Amino acid sequence: MDVFSDVPLQRLNTFALKVRAACLVEYDSSAELEEIDFKVLPQPVKHIGGGSNLLFTGDFPGTLLHSRIRFIKPVEMQEYVLVKVGSGVLWDDLCAWAADHGLWGVENLSLIPGEVGAAAVQNIGAYGAEAADVIESVEVYEPATKAFSVIPAADCAYGYRTSRFKEQWKGKYIVTSVNIKLSKEYSPRTEYGNVRSALAERYGELEMDNLTPSRVRETVIAIRRTKLPDPKEVGSAGSFFRNPIVSKEAYRHVEEVAAREAIGDVPHYNMGDQIKIPAAWLIEKCGWKGKTLGNAGVYPKQALVIINATGEATPAEILALEKAIVESVRNKFAITLTPEVEHI
């Protein structure tokens, strides 16, 4: 275990903001967690992963905890392999491991930044798959009671990019490892977006019944690279805003604005009584795509992503851009965007 004081956080936030934390504790095993006296640490105490869904709004006055529990332990069953994975393993390292072993389940989730512990908190998702599809249970430590337990996935209330860990259990548990069920059976998921056509283009139509987890993984990686900034090159936290889910009346207002201003049809998904509108479309139609405000900007290829455009953005500049986007979307469409990225 290492304890650092007044530590720079550039390597622990994908926005690459030059912020610092009063204290950072990096631990290597669950047993080490038991040794930590949380009460004597600078407060507040917050567990982080790779900082790829976080916006530090300034220097962090308390203690950041970070897992370096890094192991991948498979147990072979008849039809599947149950893999126990340490919370500090990079999610994409798990995806690469699964592909190398010919196991299905996480290939569509390739290249999502962050660590395995956070994936179980966030219920990460992409290309028609989500972490909840493969999580069997989550192993946790509860600092308040010093107890370890195993929580079955069914009790985690997994939903769209959410879980009990993000809501009523927020801050209660530390995820130490995740038990993930990977399938040996041929089970590619190609129906979402352009995955199928990209696979056919890459490997040929005749190969479409002869896919492998590696082939799907490589295709998903190639698609993602054309759409999203690589955190090693451009700082961001991925999708910054949630897609708003609005009433039919609010949706009709957006349609009226779109007709009046001749800005095209409003993309939308019906969700019972409500309607989901892509936040990226609303932001783009307000003219933000590719625009910068100081050192912060909106990614030119995807309006949902706020970036550290020059590498020198400050938290205040990211927040100013967020505020400006929210205000202009509200003024034009009467919809208030909310951030997906957690502000700390």
Ligand X SMILES: Cc1cc2nc3c(=O)[nH]c(=O)nc-3n(C[C@H](O)[C@H](O)[C@H](O)COP(=O)(O)OP(=O)(O)OC[C@H]3O[C@@H](n4cnc5c(N)ncnc54)[C@H](O)[C@@H]3O)c2cc1C
Enumerate the active-site residues. 161, 239, 340
HSE, side-chain direction, 13 A CA sphere, residue 171? 8
Q: At closest approach, how far in Å is the CB of 88 from ligand X?
A: 7
Given CA atoms 182, 185, 190, 192 in this order, what sign does their dihedral have? negative
Q: Which of 50, 143, 188, 244 binds ligand X (CB under 6 A)?
A: 50
Residue 271: its H or E element: strand 269-271
Our CB check for ligand X shows the closer of 68 and 330 to be 68
Q: Which of residues 213-232 bind ligand X (CB under 6 A)?
A: 228-229, 231
List the structure tokens of 229. 């900034």
Strand partners, 343: 55
Q: Which of 17, 45, 53, 56 binds ligand X (CB under 6 A)?
A: 53
Q: Which of 55, 64, 83, 118 binds ligand X (CB under 6 A)?
A: 118
Q: Are 47 and 173 in contact (CB under 8 A)?
A: no
List the structure tokens of 298. 């909106």
Our CB check for ligand X shows the closer of 87 and 266 to be 87
Q: What is the DSSP letter of 339?
A: B
Stretches 51-59, 179-187, 285-293, 313-321: which one binds ligand X (CB under 6 A)? 51-59
Residues 53 and 313: their CA atoms lie apart, in Å, by 17
Is residue 110 within the footprint of ligand X (CB under 6 A)? no
User: From the DSSP assignment, how many helices (H) and strands (E) are in the chain?
Assistant: 8, 20
Q: Are 214 and 106 in contact (CB under 8 A)?
A: no
**Amino acid identity, residue 161?**
R
Is residue 124 within the footprint of ligand X (CB under 6 A)? yes
Our CB check for ligand X shows the closer of 252 and 301 to be 301
Q: Which of 19, 54, 282, 286 binds ligand X (CB under 6 A)?
A: 54
Is residue 122 within the footprint of ligand X (CB under 6 A)? yes
**Pairing mode, if any, of strands 72-76 and 125-126?**
unpaired
Q: Which of 105, 125, 188, 244 binds ligand X (CB under 6 A)?
A: 125
Q: Which residues bind ligand X (CB under 6 A)?
A: 14, 46-54, 67, 87, 112-115, 117-119, 121-122, 124-126, 161, 174-175, 228-229, 231, 236-238, 342
